[in-house]
Amino acid sequence: MSNNQIGIIGTGNVGGALRRGLERARQSVRAAGEDKAEVRAVAEWADIVILAVPFGALPDVAATIAPLVKGKTIVDVTNALTEDMKLAVGYTTSGAEELQKLLPTAHVVKAFNTQFAQHMDSGRLGEDRLTVFAAGDDAKAKRAVMDLASGIGFDVVDAGPLANARLIEPLGYLNIQLGYVLGLGTEIGLALRRRRTA
């Protein structure tokens, strides 16, 4: 895997886990929290910017970084939920497509949102590899994000254009429902089973 400069905005559960996983995969990582000067500095430095912030914070973060991310890859890991944990958008658009509208010169890729943070530094649940679904319209940007996820340890599936975030976001919501509402807990993860042909 090539060495990228990866900026992570958000230093919480997901930001921290992806940082650990990516540093283990020998990527250069810088992270920023809510400090706007730090957010700008990280976005300017990075080739790939991961937005690991609450869905509701995306417009604010997008406005802060928009002038700095022309041609760069943006990874949207958010679950597009309202504060009372309902799907915020869906079917005719997605959080990721709305983010792309806010960052028109960047290449947004939806990824990682279907897994719980505690599995994001290894891509595994015990011995099982979990699946990251990656959706995006720019082939090079999506390839770069898929390589990052593989480097962490995930099984990675190209899930098509960014519009398929309309499907991936509800899948993340299903994971949350199963884990937090329906009693399965967070020691679960989604994996696509495939028959491998030689």
Ligand X SMILES: NC(=O)c1ccc[n+]([C@@H]2O[C@H](COP(=O)([O-])OP(=O)(O)OC[C@H]3O[C@@H](n4cnc5c(N)ncnc54)[C@H](OP(=O)(O)O)[C@@H]3O)[C@@H](O)[C@H]2O)c1
Q: Kindly list the residues in this chain that would bind ligand X in the complex (CB under 6 A).
A: 9-15, 33-34, 39, 52-55, 57, 60-61, 77-79, 113, 116-117, 172
Residue 57 vs 191, nearer CB to ligand X: 57
Q: Which residue is nearest to ligand X (CB)?
A: 12
Q: Quote the CA–CA distance of 11 and 18 in Å, as a whole number.
A: 10
- Which one, 95 or 151, has the nearer CB to ligand X? 95
Q: Least distance (Å) from ligand X to the CB of residue 154? A: 13
How far apart (Å, rounded) are the C-alpha atoms in residues 8 and 75? 9
Q: Is 152 exposed, middle or buried (0-12, 13-18, 19+ CB in 10 A)?
A: buried
* Least CB distance to ligand X at residue 99 (A): 11
68: DSSP letter: G
**Shorter beta-carbon distance to ligand X: residue 25 or 130:** 130
80 vs 146 by CB, closer to ligand X: 80
Q: How far is the CB of 37 from ligand X (least distance, A)?
A: 12
To ligand X, the closest distance from the beta carbon of 62 in angstroms equals 10
* Smaller CB separation from ligand X, 54 or 160: 54
Determine the Cα–Cα distance for residues 53 and 29; give it in Å rounded to an integer.
16
Q: Render the burial of 7-23: b for 16+ CB within 10 Å, e for the rest.
A: bbbbbeebbbbbbebbe
CB 76 within 8 A of CB 89: no
| Residue 19: CB minimum distance to ligand X, A | 11
